[in-house]
Structure 1
């Protein structure tokens, strides 16, 4: 240290009630300035922590700024604006990580909300639209989801192997091969008599009932049906109506989509993951 200069660590209180705690440098003339690591606290409870050089925060090193609403910023600044890589942490726990340019996010942006969910997006000139990471992606390992090859690995035979195989393989009879390919297939006779089963007997009974009921309705009307036939026809009509309803196109409720894309909703319910920068330390 040159003669007439002094270095040390002290707490200074300014006339406007701002406070500085940390390293300083002073001259015998009475001039003192911030030099080294220190914390500057403003009267409205904003904190600027970092390494100071010539009474200014060193722009070549990371600084930490905490605002009175408990939001914090850690990263690079230039002329008291966010410039360079940094992390803005909200008081509720969300963190915004990106490159900053003149107090605004730029380029690719990563946001981690207070529940630990990851969001990503690209910064625009006025706002940043973030998309949430797929909720199941963290449960997938490296092997899960890979497709299996449908082509088996094969080895190319040598010329000697080709000659040996050629001598052993007999030339097929093309006419016999054609007869086998286009021949009608024959089924092996089953040892089970399906016509003697309860299912087949119910099927035959239902088929006969359907034929009888529809003949009576077409000629004599519904009043000609017996009680059993009326009960059967009621069940048949109900099941036929259900099948018909299934074929009808389902009506889609667009209320949620309209609410999501409605301009009034956008203006009154802005997403919390959009970061709006503000100036600080001007003047």
Structure 2
């Protein structure tokens, strides 16, 4: 399919530079629909807002920069797990919420795909554990009572 571009207008009504948008199918049958840019060498890179759907069922809807997930987005995994938060170079990085298929939820900081820093974990019994996380370790978590 031939990519389409759209002109955007700012609040004053003047046209901003055209932002190309299109739909692409990759050789592995992954699909992308959204904004992109053409590099000086003529390559097409995902850039701006778009949705990438992999052939195995993973879906990312969010911001792209330099053909990578960068900025805020939502990643839905085939297992049913969902990450909603910040990305940097295709990794969970910054603040976000990760929901496991069993309903457990972590809300807090991530660094290079790892839980790192302040956050809270809500277990399957809806109990909240808060504290400082270090990847898979979280010494000294505090249980929050619901009164």
Scaled by the length of structure 2, what TM-score is found?
A: 0.71
Q: Deviations over 1:170-191 (max 9, x none)?
A: xxxxxxxxxxxxxxxxxxxxxx
Contact 1:85 1:98 in 2 (8 A): yes
- SS of the equivalent of 1:128 reads coil
Structure 1: gaps of 5 or more residues: 140-283
Answer 1 or 2: which has greater helix percent: 1
Pair 1:95 & 2:105 matched: yes
Which protein, 1 or 2, shows the higher relative CO under an 8 Å CA cutoff with sep ≥ 6? Answer: 2
Pair 1:12 & 2:24 matched: yes
Larger Rg: 1
Pair 1:119 & 2:129 matched: yes
Pair 1:79 & 2:101 matched: no
Change (3 A) 1:30 1:113: same
Pair 1:132 & 2:114 matched: no
Match in the other structure for 1:269: none
Partner Cα distance (1:78, 1:128) in 2: 23
After TM superposition, the runs of 4+ consecutive aligned structure 1 residues lying more than 6 A away are none
How many residues were matched structurally?
130
Equivalent of 1:50, from 62, 80, 85?
62
Partner Cα distance (1:125, 1:31) in 2: 37
Scaled by the length of structure 1, what TM-score is found?
A: 0.40
Answer 1 or 2: which has greater strand percent: 2
Tell me the C-alpha RMSD between the 2 structures.
2.8
Deviation, 1:115, is 4.3
